[in-house]
């Protein structure tokens, strides 16, 4: 069997899948496949792994076959399986204006679909639908599998989670930056409302800062008091964070949900690296 998945992060406790009380979440992105395993009975995260791709455009069924072989388990052994699509080919519509039969048109107008299939998520935390494109091979796999796999877009998971977590806190406006490879998604909430969400590409730390400050200016956000939360692929003492801290006074990093348990083997990996992946494991 040709190998397309290269191990990058491998952190896991011993797992007994015979009881079928574990939830598997797979995040599919341009960077690779990330997985987290959650013990439903113990309310505990027990495994976190990331595989990079040796080649691009490998079909999902091939990747999942290799993943199962490398991990020595089968998807059928899990009580629940989530698949998270992590791309920037999506847009948001207020629920009152959304028509499911027109979902393809929404992405076509924005030139996002490009002969791909269209799916949408209903965000439980607000009256918004997230419409997004998925590759044809993913749609084909989901239509043929006998497994009940729950599909979500990564931005749906992110927004639902932060709205639920922060809507009851006193600070009204909050800004979140989810960093990826040479890009990030910028999300702004005001109590229980989504104010802004967009993706930005960057090459330098100055690029990174510019888009944030420009958004702050356009939305009249106070950079002295409004908290900016980092998550994703970034170090706390990176040049990007150091530069941002010169212009934005209240910088924080997303903290893990301490109402849940985490295997000791996972402690070496900062939680905020995989905040969306962890959060998606808790989606109903």
Which strands form 128-134's sheet, in the order they lie side by side? Answer: 90-94, 128-134, 117-123
pLDDT digits (tens, 9 = 90+) for 154-181: 999 999 999 988 876 666 899 999 999 8
The CATH 3.30.420.260 domain(s) of the chain lie at 167-253
pLDDT digits (tens, 9 = 90+) for 46-71: 999 999 998 888 999 999 999 999 99
Task: Give the residue, 170 or 138, on which the prediction is more confident.
Answer: 138
Distance CA 273, CA 269 (A): 7
Q: State pTM to two decimals.
A: 0.94
Give the homologous superfamily in CATH for domain 1-166+255-284: Protein of unknown function DUF3822, N-terminal domain (3.30.420.250)
Distance CA 70, CA 73 (A): 8
Q: Is the pLDDT confidence value at 92 over 90? A: yes
pLDDT digits (tens, 9 = 90+) for 106-136: 998 888 878 789 999 999 888 899 999 999 9
Tokens for 189? 């909430």
Distance CA 200, CA 197 (A): 10
Tokens for 240? 């990007």
pLDDT digits (tens, 9 = 90+) for 5-14: 999 999 999 9
CATH 3.30.420.260 fits domain 167-253? yes
The CATH 3.30.420.250 domain(s) of the chain lie at 1-166+255-284
């Amino acid at each position: 069997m040709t190998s397309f998945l290269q191990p990058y992060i491998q952190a896991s406790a011993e797992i007994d899948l015979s009881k079928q009380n574990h939830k598997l979440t797979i995040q599919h992105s341009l960077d690779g496949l990330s997985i987290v395993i959650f013990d439903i009975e113990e309310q505990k995260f027990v495994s976190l792994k990331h595989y990079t791709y040796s080649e691009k455009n490998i079909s999902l069924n091939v990747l999942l076959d290799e993943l199962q072989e490398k991990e020595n388990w089968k998807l059928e052994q899990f009580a629940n399986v989530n698949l998270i699509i992590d791309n920037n080919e999506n847009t948001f519509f207020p629920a009152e204006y959304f028509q499911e039969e027109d979902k393809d048109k929404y992405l076509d107008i924005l030139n996002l679909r490009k002969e791909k299939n269209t799916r949408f998520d209903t965000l439980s935390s607000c009256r918004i639908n997230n419409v997004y494109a998925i590759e044809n091979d993913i749609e084909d796999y989901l239509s043929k599998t006998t497994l009940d796999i729950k599909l979500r877009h990564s931005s749906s998971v992110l927004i639902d989670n932060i709205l639920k977590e922060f809507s009851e806190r006193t600070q009204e406006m909050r800004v979140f930056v989810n960093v990826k490879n040479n890009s990030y998604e910028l999300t702004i909430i005001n109590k229980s409302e989504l104010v802004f969400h967009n993706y930005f590409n960057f090459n330098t730390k100055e690029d990174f800062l510019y888009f944030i400050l420009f958004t702050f200016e356009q939305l009249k956000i106070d950079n002295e008091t409004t908290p900016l939360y980092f998550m994703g692929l970034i170090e706390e003492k990176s040049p990007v964070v150091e530069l941002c801290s010169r212009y934005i006074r209240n910088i924080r990093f997303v903290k893990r949900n301490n109402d849940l348990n985490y295997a000791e083997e996972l402690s070496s990996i900062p939680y905020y690296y995989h905040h969306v992946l962890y959060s998606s494991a808790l989606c109903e």
